[in-house]
Structure 1
Amino acid sequence: MEKWMLIDGNSVAYRAFFALPPLTNASGLHTNAIFGFTTMLLKLLEEHKPTHVLVAFDAGKVTFRHEGYSEYKGGRQKTPAELSEQFPVLKELIASFGIAQFELSGYEADDIIGTLTKQADEQGVDAIVVSGDKDMLQLSSARVTVAVTKKGVSEVELYTPELIQEKYGLEPGQIIDLKGLMGDTSDNIPGVPGVGEKTALKLLHEYASVENVLDNLDKLKGKLKENMEAHRDDALMSKKLATIFREVPMEREIEEIRYGGYEPAKLSEAFRKLEFRSLMEKLELSGEGGATAAEAKAAAAELKMTALESGAEAADWERLLGSLADSERHGLYIEAIGENPHHSELIGVAIATEDEVFVMSMEAVREEAAAKFREWLADETKPKYGFDMHKAELAMLWAGLKLGGAAFDVQLAAYLLDPTDSALSLSAVNDRQGFGGVPSDEAVYGKGAKFKVPGGETLQRHLALKADAVRKLVPIVTEELANRGMSKLYFELEHPLARVLAGMEHQGIKVEKAVLEELGRTLEAKLSSINSEIYSLAGTEFNINSPKQLGEVLFEKLGLPARKKTKTGYSTDAEVLEELARYHDIIPHILNFRQLSKLQSTYVEGLLKEIREETGKVHTYYRQTIAATGRLSSQFPNLQNIPIRLEEGRQIRKAFVPSQPGWTILAADYSQIELRVLAHISGDDNLKEAFIHDMDIHTKTASDVFGVPAEQVDSNMRRSAKAVNFGIVYGISDFGLSQNLGITRKDAAQFIEQYFSVFKGVRKYMDDIVAQAKSDGYVTTLLDRRRYLPEIKASNFNLRSFAERTAMNTPIQGSAADIIKLAMVQMDEALRERKLKSRMLLQVHDELVFEVPPDELELMKKLLPEVMSGALKLDVPLKADVSFGDNWYEAK
């Protein structure tokens, strides 16, 4: 049975554009309207399963309606460029779906759809019309349902004649009378002044049509009667303008819009260019091959796959090792289930050579027959080419196995090629390179409550496809790194760093449980005292952690001025409370209560849960592929976020101690590394002079900006200079500086202007780097790390401004991140060369933390700052301050 789906392309795309946040792909093309349209289309195709589909578009700005009324649609604002640029690409995507599209000069999409629905009525065929415009309701009939988008484009409301009657008390044909009376500002249809929807409906319920209303003006009264008499012609013209023309000369046969489904390969290629990875996963598309689950199975069937299960004989493992020896290049994939590698479960290993893929269960790998294979895995002289080898190495270490000889990691390379891409699963990287055949883990394992690792051939096939994908990807991403000048960054920094991190993470840092527990008791006592003080000042007891109850106490009971309101009540966020601090003594206590509560729950109780029973240590996990600037991210637990502004937060560091009796915690912290990088990159003489002569940079800045000798710089001047110094690194605005210093935006703007008049080299750098980013589309760090900035050319001011600030600060922050990573690699080499027992334990922002035996302390106190200050040669000296003690607290 036939079912037609007729889509108003312009209307739906327009709705999607304004409903979704700005999206762009790597080339800078805006894609939010296309994404929203596609999401809606897929949902409708699935739900309604049409046999015929057409997307109709407006052919131009001038239609036959303009002949009678030149102001038709005249009030509309110009289509945003960010939307206009999407229409040609949207039309290409519709073609990739295999869906017909049509436009005709002089007519609107409504008219084309109206003509086809008339044919559907005449032929007794069911049809569904999809639009964001309720004008289309006039087309509803026994055969035609009108789907109007709501909540952007994620949902539609299906209008039948029955629903129109229920909602409006009208027949579908009366919708044009409704528009005739009330007009439509979006189309510049005038209607009758003073007549809104409520009045128009009342008139139509009584008189049925515009013409009948006009024939009964003597029964109307007052202003309504005057307006109807004065605007008789407008009402009739408005009705005519709102009437969809249903006699468009189509010159197309219905068979031309028959829909037979999409070709996975075509649609996959279109999605890949647009970077619609979530939709690719949803449809189980993959690369040029457009792999569905069935096609992935077929792809795996083409591989020669050998499964080595428990009981495999030594001869089977010999054949694997022989195949590896004969292979020019292999792909290794180790599947560790679980985000935290310290607690992951190893479920299998796959190795792909040119001729065959070997898939091994972990049970088989552990057996005696596999001893030589385990030796190969651990052998540092045998190169391994894999994916996320950092995680694999850690997971294997905890399983009592060793992975040595990592030669190349596809995931790490993919991150360097686009550090803003959060989709770094193997299937996503594979898709991006245009290969097919690898379904996502979610498609194979499920997610959430439905997550389950399949057994047997399904798992073997999945691991085999992954290993083969790694084998194919290695030369391609290696070449891309070389083409973009990032081979040195990969092979001399990021790749060796991964091994350093795995060693640090497995080593862990000892945490004294008793110290944390005692600190917890102290915090509990303080919280109890603050709690009582808050109740006393409030004059009532309430749940301080409940924003709703706190808002009622502050703004209703105590009568403090309410700043912001949310859907659930008064806002009591930190910004609001800080603004209220001058109004009531209760506020500082609430802020203190919140800070101490977070310390107690997140850092005291949280760290206690993370202590590994068998080691007495916490083992964090450093992610190299998260931050776009190149900074490391710490997880499970996050040891970079332990708050040290509060003394109680600093006290937490007392629990971090050496793992050996008599050893010492040694820490070294880069001094103002980002400002030193700025001095080098900008070449500003004033900044360089300050660091070359080891001046206090904030005093020097204050002296220059305020025009006073250094000895006359007071604490407020220095504080202002410090705020602007660090603010410049992050592209601070006058608003941001005014908030930091509690001054007016005008004064803040003047201060920034004065800063740039003194540090002219910094201003020139800021201007030049933005211009370079607009020209190249990316910026680089001192070690050639790239960050792409497609929004730098956006017409939207906010998007463009953010990209410009990112262009300014990425080379500074990214270079600082590169330098401390370089120091870590060089320190690891220094420790090994000197055969020292000292161990690197943590990296926290610009700080490195070690545990050191007593006989190496003096050497390490000299070696660590030497390596850190010499990690990269700059035009100004790098400086690292060293401290030490019995715990991390004392080392600071």
Structure 2
Amino acid sequence: MSEQLSQPAERQKPSMFLLDGMALVFRSYYALMSARMQTQSGFPTGAIYGFINTILKIEETYRPDFLVVAFDSKEKTFRHEAFPDYKAQRPAPPTDLIQQLGKILEIVPAMGIPMLKRPGFEADDIIGTLTKKFEDRCNLFLVTPDKDFAQLVHDGVKLLKPARQNDEFLLYGAEEVKSHYGVYPEQFLDMLALMGDSSDNIPGAPGIGPKTAANLINRYGSIAKIYENLYELRPRARESLLKSKAALENGRFLMTIKTDMDIDLTLDDLKQKSPDLDFLLPLFEELEFRTLAARFKSSPEKKNEQAASDADLEFNFGANVDPNFQFAKKQPRDLGNYTLIQDEDDLNQLAEKLGSLKEFAFDTETTSLTTLDAELVGISFSFAPGEAFFVYCAESALSRETAIRVLKPILENPEIGKIGQNLKYDMLVLKNYGVRVQPVRFDTMLASYVLNPDKTHNLDDLAADHLGLETVKYADLVGKGKSEKSIYEVEPKTLSDYACQDADVALQLKNVLEKALGENEPLKKICEELEFPLVGVLADMEHEGVRLDVAVLKTLSETLGTELGRVSKIIYDAAGEAFNLDSPKQLSEILFEKLKLPAKRRTKTGYSTDVRVLEELAESFPVAKQILEYRSLQKLKSTYVDALPNLVHPKTGRIHTSFNQHIAATGRLSSSNPNLQNIPIRTEIGREIRGAFVPSDAHHTLLSADYSQIELRIAAELSGDPTMLGAFQNREDIHSTTAKLIFETDEVTKDMRRKAKEVNFGVLYGIMPFGLAQRLDISQAEAKEIISQYKEKYPMIFSYLEGILDKARASGYVETLLGRRRYIRDLNSKNFSIRSAAERAAINTPIQGTAADMIKKAMLGIASDIHKQSLRSRMILQVHDELLFNMHESEVDILPELVQREMIEAAKAIGIRNVPIEVEVGTGANWIEAH
């Protein structure tokens, strides 16, 4: 294991940190890709934010005496001149990364950090040269995720690699390089040459990977010695090396980091300057980096000085000068006026105050994120910014029972609005203690989501983005890993400050986000009339749960096991041997080396065996089709059939999925733990899984209510296409109608209807001839003709879809019928794949988002009716366009009509006027029977 870099008390030599700029930018980009960070206008910011924080992390943790960032230049290098194919296979950087790179190249020198580039050379060579130049005068740390730098490591020069799973760094000296890679630094180049590097188009010796290369180097010492002893090697390795001698020499040249560039700089030249706040602060505001802006504002003001430059070596300083400047270590925000309450008298005084308010923010502290298992440790309250109270009811003079008794009337008071972050969690925890919290006045997580669904919505990020506050994290409170302690072990005042902070920040965020919503009336209404009220409905559904017949799944597991055995045998027979079907590496070797199937795409570990590759191969090679079947069966077995019984809660005997309002950018609900949205319905086995979902007892049956072809109906409404509108108004089967039109026949076969159905729904997802051809197993020419016929018969559908794209390109966003907004970037990307994905998102969101708004509206109406009529039936699941109910036997004549009525009324309420809405209702002893 690599040791952590520590800060020595005294240094014999100053420290110099040399950063591999582009490699760290790429790492930041991919690390934050899932967060989809962007400004309100849609400009991507994840790579910028991550890169700046990497620099600040180094500054704050290690306090370097010198820090330099080296970047590659855009010009071809001496390596390209020697070998034109060098890096020829490397794809162009993503468009949204290129957009950010210009800002990064401005920010680094503005932060006062020397930044180096030189035409014809790579950042590696600049770093290698500075290493050689200053290794006798400084302790050098090479900061990069690139393993190639290990060749430079020796006494006084160490590799500092970002860890994969967190924001820490790992230090590699010579022993760590040997431990991690298998060879010492002085042998590293030979190992690299043997391995090659596909990303840089450096071949290496075929069949020799990292482990074999390290073993050979350790056995013989060098490539030269290996060639002297070729006769000792196995025939396959010997033949590979004989054919690759010239390639290895070339590869070694290409991967050697230069250390002798002409860089005439002194240590004084590399001193860090003070940041140019006049440039940085407005830019951080533009990029919506409010936390970064706040941190830089705290640094002392500096005098401006002209940046130095070099005509040959692009060399940038920050605009201000202060050689002694260091970034202040990041500190938690100043705590407000926070009060710990541990006795009943103080609690009663707080309750009296809370009872007199129109609204307040609150937050619970518990022992678990699983609501049914969570023990209540305390509740924090805030009703004025900077002021909060924490009712501590664990191991104190104040019992949990007393706290609940006093606070229950206030938390349940419908006249007092409740504010919080992810209030559903707190509501579910308090349900365990008989408290039904109401009403949801404002949920900061959902407000942030409605304002911009593609951003992150956790409390820490929201506090940073909107308040410029650095919050105390839960891990700061209890620790991590083996050192993590119980929340009961946290000192009460420390816990109080943490808990009060959450309520206080939620209240302050409410004030900011409410103002932002006030600038867009439709979004404000979506929050107040749809998302906030739905929180309580979803909490009730999650708490209720759904019963599972475990015996059904056990039988199905045995069936799947038998079927997997059958498919596996077919594959093994085709391969001529048994192997690990779940190993991509072994599968790749069997398919592409032994069976000689045409390889489609290469990865770092071998040839790809992903779904797209196998689907292409399956058209000509039955073994690929069998592997796809194996994977499908294995996924069903592991993800659902074997996993679901383990998720039945021991207290309730039911599954309690979590419904997420803030995940899907379209506005749809998603579910997790377990995800019930992805149980396949088209396959027989998928339907059998649904058959395991059953009523709670003998006095109940399941009722399913499903919107019929709702997205097509919405498309007809939004486009006004007369042909499609007419078909729905005449109660025609839309797929048969489409088949008649595009195939120009009155005799519609099942196959024609199937094709029409695929194109009907595919059009709404921006399907192309290639995609339709794959779905229907037809030629691209036939698929193109079908789409052409569709455009001719439903012209206004396509006019509407083109209109969406035009509007999105102009405004940067699309909207649902209610005005729910989603920002779409990359519509003008030069990369076809990226642009196409953005166009599909733009086309689909208004339709799918409108459907999402509709079913949410229906859920609110149904829940209200069930409550008003004191019905015993319960809504228990929402999956796509379907609602599932646990229906009591006494209400079989009431509930179906109620549900159907509210679902149809919801369509009218959100603005559907011209298309009749149909709701298919069914009942049964299990989910599949009801559906």
TM range, normalised to the smaller chain? Answer: 0.7 to 0.9
1:434-449 mapped onto 2 (5 Å cutoff): 434-449=467-482
- The answer for the alignment partner of 1:357 in structure 2 is 388
The equivalent residue for 1:228 is none
Task: Tell me which structure has the larger Cα radius of gyration.
Answer: 1
Mapping of residues 720-739 of structure 1, within 5 Å: 720-739=755-774
Is 1:671 aligned to residue 702 of structure 2?
no
3-state secondary structure, aligned to 1:732: coil
More divergent stretch after superposition (451-460 vs 669-678) = 451-460
Summarize deviations over 1:214-250 as a string: whole Å, max 9, x none. Answer: xxxxxxxxxxxxxxxxxxxxxxxxxxx99855558x9
Q: Which residue of 1 aligns with 2:271?
A: 257
**Of 467, 470, 487, the match for 2:524:** 487
**What does residue range 330-341 of structure 1 map to in structure 2 within 5 Å?**
330-341=360-371
Q: Who is 1:834 aligned against?
A: 869
* SS of alignment partner, residue 822 of structure 1: helix
Instruction: Give the equivalent residue in structure 2 for 1:803.
Output: 838
CA distance in 1, matches of 2:123, 2:690: 67
SS in 2 for 1:640: coil
The alignment-based identity, stated in percent, is 34
TM-score between the two structures when normalised by the length of structure 1: 0.75
Match runs of 1:91-130 below 5 Å = 91=105, 93-94=107-108, 97-99=111-113
The aligned counterpart of 1:882 is: 921
Q: What is the aligned partner in structure 1 of residue 653 from structure 2? A: 616
1:606 partner letter: A
| CA drift at 1:716 | 2.4
Matching residue within 478, 482, 503 for 1:467: 503
- Is the alpha carbon distance of 1:837 and 1:551 closer, same or farther for their aligned partners in structure 2, counting shifts above 3 Å? same
The code of the aligned residue for 1:416 comes to V
Structure 2: unaligned runs, 5 residues or longer = 1-11, 79-87, 175-183, 191-199, 203-221, 224-257, 300-326
Is residue 114–residue 245 contact of structure 1 (8 Å, CA) maintained in 2? no
Structure 2 counterpart of 1:517: 551
Q: Once the two structures are superposed, what CA deviation does each residue of 1:338-396 show, in whole Å capped at 9, x if it has no partner? A: 44323334332111232742111233362437633232122223221112111111121
Whole-angstrom CA distance in 1 between matches of 2:27 and 2:653: 53
Deviations 1:187-223 (A, max 9, x none): xxxxxxxxxxxxxx99xxxxxxxxxxxxxxxxxxxxx
Q: Shift in Å at residue 740 of structure 1?
A: 0.4
Aligned counterpart, 2:644? 607
Conserved in 2, the CA contact under 8 Å of 1:336 and 1:392?
Answer: no
Other-structure match for 1:236: none
Q: Secondary structure at the match of 1:603?
A: helix
Which residue does the alignment assign to 1:90?
104
In the alignment, the residues of structure 2 paired with residue 110 and residue 521 of structure 1 have an alpha-carbon distance, to the nearest angstrom, of: 59
Residue 930 (structure 2) aligns with: 891
Q: Say how many residue pairs are matched.
A: 796
Query: How does 1:848-863 map onto structure 2 within 5 Å?
Result: 848-863=883-898
Q: Give the 3 Å change call, closer, same or farther, for CA 14–819 of structure 1 in structure 2.
A: closer
C-alpha displacement of 1:50: 2.5
Given residue 3 of structure 1, which amino acid in structure 2 is its aligned partner?
P
Assess if the C-alpha contact under 8 Å between 2:809 and 2:827 holds in 1. Answer: yes
Specify which of 658, 665, 671 is matched with residue 634 of structure 1: 671
Q: Report the TM-score, using the length of structure 2 for normalisation.
A: 0.72
Q: 1:707-751 deviations in whole A, cap 9, x for unaligned?
A: 23xx32222222221111111111112221111011222332232
Deviations 1:772-819 (A, max 9, x none): 111111111112111111322434333222111110001111111111
Matched residue SS, 2:334:
helix
Aligned to 2:38: 25
Q: CA RMSD in A?
A: 5.3
- Find the residue that maps to 1:837 and give its secondary structure: coil
Residues 16 and 67, structure 2, Cα contact 8 Å, conserved in 1: yes
Report 1:582-593 matches (<5 A): none
Distance in 2 of aligned mates of 1:431 and 1:595: 43
Aligned to 2:447: 413
Match of 2:14?
Answer: 3
Structure 2 match to 1:207:
none
Of the structure 1 ranges 544-553 and 110-119, higher mean CA displacement relative to structure 2 is found in: 110-119
Q: How does 1:438-837 map to 2 (within 5 A)?
A: 438-452=471-485, 453=487, 455-456=490-491, 457-484=493-520, 485-511=522-548, 513=549, 516-521=550-555, 523-525=557-559, 527-528=561-562, 531=565, 535=569, 538=572, 542=578, 545-547=581-583, 551=587, 555=591, 559=595, 561=597, 595-708=632-745, 711-837=746-872
1:644 to 1:338, Cα distance in 2 relative to 1, 3 A: same
- String of CA shifts for 1:62-90, please: whole Å, max 9, x gaps: 9xx9xxxxxxxxx9999998667545522
Alpha carbons of structure 1 residues 837 and 325: separation in structure 2 relative to 1, 3 Å: closer
Indicate the residue corresponding to 2:408 in structure 1: 374
Per-residue CA deviations over 1:318-357 (Å, capped at 9, x if unaligned) read: 2212333566753211234544323334332111232742
Q: Structure 1 unaligned segments of length 5 or more: list them.
A: 66-74, 170-183, 187-200, 203-240
Query: Relative to 1, partners in 2 of residues 1:433 and 1:542: Cα closer, same or farther, differing over 3 Å?
Result: same
Give deviations 1:685-714, integer Å, cap 9, x for gaps: 111111111111111112222223xx3222
Map of 1:385 onto structure 2: 419
Does the 8 Å CA contact 1:493/1:822 hold for their aligned counterparts?
Answer: yes
Aligned to 1:348: 378
The question of whether the paired residues in 2 share the 8 Å contact of 1:820 and 1:868 is answered with yes
Q: CA deviation at 1:316?
A: 0.8
Structure 2 counterpart SS, 1:836:
coil
Task: Call closer, same or farther: CA 1:287–1:112 in 2, change over 3 Å.
Answer: closer
Q: Go from structure 1 to structure 2 and tell me whether the alpha carbon gap of 1:395 and 1:550 turns closer, same or farther (over 3 Å shift).
A: same
Q: Structure 1 residues 502 and 32, CA, compared in 2 at 3 Å: closer, same or farther?
A: closer
Structure 2 distance, partners of 1:133, 1:293, is 28
Residues 458 and 368 (structure 1), Cα distance of their counterparts in 2 relative to 1, 3 Å cut? closer
Q: 2:458 aligns with which of 425, 433, 439?
A: 425
Aligned CA distance change for structure 1 residues 396 and 95 (closer, same or farther; 3 Å): farther
CA displacement at 1:758 relative to structure 2: 2.0
SS in 2 for 1:377: helix
Deviation at 1:820, TM superposition (A): 0.9
CA distance in 2, matches of 1:124, 1:505: 64
Q: Quote the Cα distance in structure 1 between the aligned partners of 2:564 and 2:125.
A: 70
Do residues 307 (structure 1) and 340 (structure 2) align?
yes
Partner Cα separation in structure 2 for residue 483 and residue 622 of structure 1: 29
Displacement of 1:105? 13
Counterpart of 1:608 in structure 2: which amino acid?
P
Q: Residue 337 of structure 1 contacts residue 345 of structure 1 at CA under 8 Å; is this kept in 2?
A: yes
Q: What's the counterpart of residue 51 of structure 1? A: 65
Tell me the distance in 1 between the aligned counterparts of 2:149 and 2:640. 58
- Tell me how far apart the structure 2 counterparts of residues 106 and 533 of structure 1 sit (CA, whole Å): 55
1:421-477, Cα deviation, whole Å (9 max, x unpaired): 2x3221111111033142233343444555433512222111111111111111211
Partner of residue 234, structure 2: none
1:866 alignment partner in structure 2 = 901
Change (3 A) 1:632 1:127: closer
Letter of the 2:923 partner, please give it.
F
Letter in 1 for 2:472: P
1:616 partner amino acid: G
